[in-house]
Amino acid sequence: MRLAYRLACVLVRAGASAATVTLVGIAASVGALAAGFFHAQYWIFVAAGLVMIAAVADTLDSAIIVLTGRLTRLGYIYNSVADRIVEACWLGALVFAGAPGWLAAAAGGVSWLHEYVRARAIAAGMNSTGEVTMGERPMRVIVAVAGLTLSGLTALISTDLGVGAAAMAGTVWLLLGIGGFIQLLDAVHDALG
């Protein structure tokens, strides 16, 4: 967090806005999807690196908002939409690496349902959904980066191993999402029930 704060301070002094940094994150994620499409030996590593860049951009845009005090309701919604687009790109890169499409769709659906329940709980009067679950965004970043990296490394040995690593990453994403969703529902039930 300290590093993100320091980098955000530099970006604010340089005149960067949170919206610009968000767009960089989206562009990096679309780049990860495109790199995953090529699934040549080194392109999958490029995809993993671009996912990391997108994750850093997501952290920085939030830090810039805090530093500048420019949080708007519309910006909050746009940022949430950007996060879902970015995650769809990451899952698409895993599909290009070999994960089954249905698995990626299920993992994305559970993640998005997780975020939807969080938003609806706040709208229903829950003060916050500060419940940290096993399916939070930082875990999804780790799974995407590790899955793409392992897929690339194992594909150097065997294409089937690379496909299996991508499928494993999709499975882990889905299982963490289901577990996190159950944890979140329990917290919402306790708060609003």
Q: Are 26 and 83 in contact (CB under 8 A)?
A: no
Q: What is the CATH number of the domain that holds 113?
A: 1.20.120.1760
Question: Residue 176's domain spans which residues?
Answer: 2-192
Q: Which residue blocks in 1-126 are alpha helix, DSSP H?
A: 2-13, 18-38, 43-68, 73-97, 101-123
User: DSSP letter at 187?
Assistant: H
- d(CA 104, CA 178) in angstroms, rounded, equals 13
Counted domains in the chain = 1
Q: Tell me: the pLDDT tens digits for 78-109?
A: 888 999 999 999 999 999 999 999 999 999 99
Q: Tell me: the pLDDT tens digits for 142-167?
A: 999 999 999 999 988 998 999 999 99
Where b means 16+ CB within 10 Å and e means fewer, 35-44 reads: bbeebeeebb
At residue 16, what is the residue type?
A: A
Q: Tell me: the pLDDT tens digits for 25-70?
A: 999 999 999 998 876 668 989 999 999 999 999 888 888 888 888 7
